[in-house]
């Protein structure tokens, strides 16, 4: 285990609450807390047993002023989250009281932790690998039960087991190659069974990599969410659709064109998928300065969205403004929504016949919303969303796995062309390195620091 200084941070969300937790990790954790904590029992806390708690008070190390009434818990390394000695101070919640206890801990000799430093130490001390460490942040940021479940599976090492199995295949290939090179004389041919066994190992690895990559795009959506932009000209029912999907009156709905002048963003849970719905300002030519800014933002959101919901008023004939918006979304993945079907239809559907996905709804009467939700799921997920299987949800993992697959396929094609085994080993080694990047066995220090830099302080 590596030697580090002792760090501290507030581990709970800062604000008013019954309890806040300050986490301290490092080999001097007990020494530091013993300077500021007086237990009610008057025992020496340096003799505390692991996984026990003590009640007492925190005092300022310099003035001996009473700071707070607390309970401390002790977890002795390596059987702790960071694999170091860890003490957690359970103090009263609230910005002032919590910060006062934190300042006292720092005065006693601890250093304020950097973002993600506790989890980084767990990784550097070998308690968890990098994929498990990244899953910790995914658990914190999860917006749905499915995202939480996916992150939890990764945090408990499900992905690590799969990657280690793939690494075994690659190491087996390298061992066979090394055996063939070391034990074959110059005038001898390579044992014909060795290329066959190399090919078998590569084929197994390639098939399992493809299975993992198959759901990677879906996994990214489960982790990061799906971005839907509701677009259309003013007064076609965009805000009514947002309100219907959210089942609350989030956007102002009036008969006055141009009511929505800025972007409204809200999340819904679509069968475990976090969906960010963006209600945009109606797109039209306008002289109003504020509305014009809103229209420009709407056009930007069309470019950024994963899916565009183009809303048309079926109770009116299409005009030039409608046609311009239809042209603007032509290259995007799009669902055309014919709204207001509770009224007499006057729209010429031949104009939109080139769109694959056309849904008829009444946002006001909440008709057709189920069809819309099913269409969204079908566009992004191949059948039923699988909540039980391991899903690659991290873009970094996907890229590394894709490079591993690419190199493995390159190696296999060269085996089939009877190329020299030591040349093939170059591609196998590259594949192995890519797999090692996922678990952190082979990763640049700068990238490790960047990954943990995105964590919150105290985690």
The first and second tokens of residue 34, run together, are: 């013993």
Q: Is 299 annotated as a binding residue?
A: no
256 is in an annotated binding site: yes
Residue appearing with tokens 């300002």: 281
Cβ–Cβ contacts within 10 Å for residue 437, how many?
Answer: 22
Exposure string for 378-414, b = 16+ CB within 10 A, e = fewer: eebbeeebeeeebbbbbeebbebbebbbebbbbbbeb
Short-list 394, 391, 401, CA closest to 158:
391
13: annotated binding-site residue? no
Rg for the chain (alpha carbons), in Å?
A: 29
Closest alpha carbon to 385 in 217, 139, 267 = 217
Per-residue burial over 183-212, b if 16 or more Cβ lie within 10 Å, else e, is: eeeeeeebeeebbeebbebbeebbeebeeb
236 known member of a binding site: yes
Q: Is 258 annotated as a binding residue?
A: yes
**Residue 280 marked ligand-binding:** yes
The Cα 301–Cα 229 span in angstroms is 7
Please check if 254 is assigned to a binding site: yes
User: Is 286 annotated to bind ligand?
Assistant: no
Q: Which residue carries 């475990």 as its tokens?
A: 272
User: Rounded CA gap, 297 and 56, in Å?
Assistant: 56
Q: Is 184 known to sit in a ligand binding site? A: no
Is 240 annotated to bind ligand?
yes
Q: Is 259 part of any known ligand binding site? A: yes
Helices within 251-390 (DSSP H only): 289-304, 320-328, 369-380
Query: Is 211 marked as binding a ligand?
Result: no
Q: Are 82 and 23 in contact (CB under 8 A)?
A: no
In 3D space, the residue among 427, 53, 352, 369 whose CA is nearest the CA of residue 230 turns out to be 369
Q: CA angle, corner 372, sides to 371 and 373, nearest 5?
A: 95
Asked whether 422 and 190 are in contact (CB, 8 A), the reply is no
The binding site consists of 23, 88, 127, 235-240, 254-260, 279-282, 459
The binding site for Mg(2+) consists of 239, 260
The binding site for (6S)-5-formyl-5,6,7,8-tetrahydrofolate consists of 23, 88, 127, 459
The binding site for GTP consists of 235-240, 254-260, 279-282
């Amino acid at each position: 285990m590596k030697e580090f200084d002792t760090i501290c941070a507030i581990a709970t969300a800062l604000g008013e609450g019954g309890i806040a937790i300050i986490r301290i990790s490092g080999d001097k954790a007990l020494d530091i807390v013993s300077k500021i904590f007086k237990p009610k029992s008057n025992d020496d806390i340096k003799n505390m047993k692991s996984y026990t708690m003590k009640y007492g008070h925190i005092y300022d190390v310099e003035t001996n002023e009473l700071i707070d009434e607390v309970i401390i818990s002790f977890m002795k390394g390596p059987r702790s989250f960071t694999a170091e000695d860890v003490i957690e101070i359970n103090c009263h919640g609230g910005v002032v009281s919590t910060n006062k206890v934190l300042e006292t801990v720092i005065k006693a000799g601890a250093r304020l932790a950097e973002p993600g430093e506790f989890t980084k130490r767990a990784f550097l001390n070998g308690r968890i690998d990098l994929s498990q460490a990244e899953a910790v942040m995914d658990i914190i940021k999860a917006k749905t039960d499915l995202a939480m479940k996916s992150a939890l599976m990764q945090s408990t090492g499900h992905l690590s087991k799969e990657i280690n199995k793939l690494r075994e295949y690659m190491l087996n290939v390298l061992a066979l190659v090394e055996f063939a090179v070391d034990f074959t004389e110059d005038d001898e041919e390579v044992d014909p069974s060795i290329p066959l066994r190399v090919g078998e190992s590569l084929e197994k690895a390639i098939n399992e990599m493809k299975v993992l990559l198959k759901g990677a795009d879906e996994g990214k959506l489960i982790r990061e969410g799906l971005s839907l932009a509701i677009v259309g000209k003013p007064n076609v029912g965009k805000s009514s659709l947002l309100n219907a999907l959210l089942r609350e009156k989030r956007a102002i709905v009036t008969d006055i064109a141009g009511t929505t002048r800025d972007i409204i963003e809200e999340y819904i849970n679509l069968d475990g998928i976090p969906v960010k719905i963006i209600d945009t300002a109606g797109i039209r030519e306008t002289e109003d300065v504020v509305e014009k800014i809103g229209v420009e933002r709407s056009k930007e959101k069309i470019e950024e969205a994963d899916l565009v919901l183009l809303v048309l008023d079926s109770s009116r004939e299409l005009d030039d403004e409608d046609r311009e918006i239809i042209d603007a979304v032509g290259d995007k993945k799009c669902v055309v929504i014919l709204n207001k079907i509770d009224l007499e239809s006057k729209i010429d559907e031949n104009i939109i016949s080139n769109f694959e996905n056309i849904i008829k709804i009444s946002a006001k009467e909440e008709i057709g919303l189920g069809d819309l939700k099913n269409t969204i799921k079908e566009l992004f997920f191949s059948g039923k969303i699988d909540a039980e299987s391991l899903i690659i949800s991290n873009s970094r993992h996907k890229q590394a796995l894709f490079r591993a697959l690419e190199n493995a396929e390159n190696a296999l094609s060269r085996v089939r062309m009877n190329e020299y085994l030591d040349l093939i080993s170059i591609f196998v080694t590259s594949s192995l390195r890519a797999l090692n990047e996922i678990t952190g066995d082979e990763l640049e220090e700068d990238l490790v620091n960047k990954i943990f830099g995105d964590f919150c302080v105290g985690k």
